[in-house]
Amino acid sequence: MTITSEIIAKLKEDMGASPVDDITVIDRKQLEALEAALPQTAATHRHKKRGSTYELIGIGKMQTEHWHDPNLDAEYDNQAVDMREVAIYRATEDGNLWVRPREEFEDGRFEELPVATVTTAPAQEPVITLDDRMKAAGMLTIAEMMGATPLTRFMSNPAINTIQYFSEWLDRKVSSYLLMKAPYDLGDKSEDDELYEWVLAHAGVFSAIREQFRVVLSAMPDQQARIAELEAALADMLPPNLPWKRDADGVLIHHKVAAINAARTVLNKGKAE
């Protein structure tokens, strides 16, 4: 099937009636890129009186009734005539399609224009960014995900309450998604697979988070700075209504304090080593 501007217009009309989500946004971008790559309309005729220009698409035949035919005698005029030749042409200004008897199109009211050479830029693949892929996969974009620290985004599991545990969890996540992505990279799985976008987006974003997380850790001058950063992150992250618990000495303390103390113990142990 040949893709025409009429087909694209119909697709855009149908898409406009559907709910707008992240996937239809990508489809719209692809349609717009496809529409831009179509050959431009070249004017072939001008209406002498109105000055409007048209592109002659071709001559066809149409079953007609009660059309005046100057070649018929009066007694036959206005009678049904089957398969009259018609000129089919399109207005270059608004793209409207017109049909009129061929003899009227060629009776002098239209003048033929010199053939115009229309150059069209080579079609380019629409640019789909990683954020587009993440949106289509139902994820937050990198900008949205990094709007808060990785700790506040992902430390929802109560077992992940230190930087060390979070770093290990992040490494496992990255390794898992990269293993899932490997068959696509090696060609064992097709990119048409329904999980491709989801796997690609998750592998990309978790790899980006891990790199930024490592940069943050390497920029800290010493262990005390790490402790301060961790305390601030945990204090912002943990809600005030978490349950109370007893520490190693049996003292009843708030869960937030217990988490901070546990983190300080781990980091101080690393400093001593």
What DSSP string describes 202-252? HHHHHHHHHHHHHHHHHH--SHHHHHHHHHHHHHHHS-TTPPEEE-TTS-E
Residue 125 lies in a domain: no
Within this chain, do residues 19 and 77 fall inside the same structural domain, yes or no?
yes
Within this chain, do residues 184 and 67 fall inside the same structural domain, yes or no?
no
Residue 118 lies in a domain: no
Within this chain, do residues 13 and 106 fall inside the same structural domain, yes or no?
yes
pLDDT average, residue stretch 127-133: 70
Within this chain, do residues 92 and 139 fall inside the same structural domain, yes or no?
no
| Residue the block writes with tokens 């592109």 | 55
Within this chain, do residues 179 and 268 fall inside the same structural domain, yes or no?
yes
Task: Check if the beta carbon of residue 173 is closer than 8 Å to that of residue 205.
Answer: no
Within this chain, do residues 79 and 158 fall inside the same structural domain, yes or no?
no
Position 21 scores a pLDDT of: 46
Within this chain, do residues 87 and 43 fall inside the same structural domain, yes or no?
yes
Residue 68 lies in a domain: yes
112 compared with 244, residue with greater pLDDT: 112
Within this chain, do residues 185 and 264 fall inside the same structural domain, yes or no?
yes
87 compared with 94, residue with greater pLDDT: 87
Give the list of residues 6+ apart from residue 268 with CB closer than 8 angstroms, or none. 223, 227
What range defines the domain where residue 182 resides?
A: 130-272
Within this chain, do residues 261 and 150 fall inside the same structural domain, yes or no?
yes
Look at 108-112, 122-126, 163-167 and tell me which has the smallest mean pLDDT: 122-126
Q: Give me the number of domains the chain comprises.
A: 2
59 compared with 152, residue with greater pLDDT: 59
Within this chain, do residues 245 and 134 fall inside the same structural domain, yes or no?
yes
Within this chain, do residues 56 and 141 fall inside the same structural domain, yes or no?
no
59 compared with 26, residue with greater pLDDT: 59
Residue 49 lies in a domain: yes
Within this chain, do residues 176 and 69 fall inside the same structural domain, yes or no?
no
Cβ neighbours around 194 below 10 Å, total: 6
Residue 74 lies in a domain: yes
Q: What is residue 107's DSSP assignment?
A: S
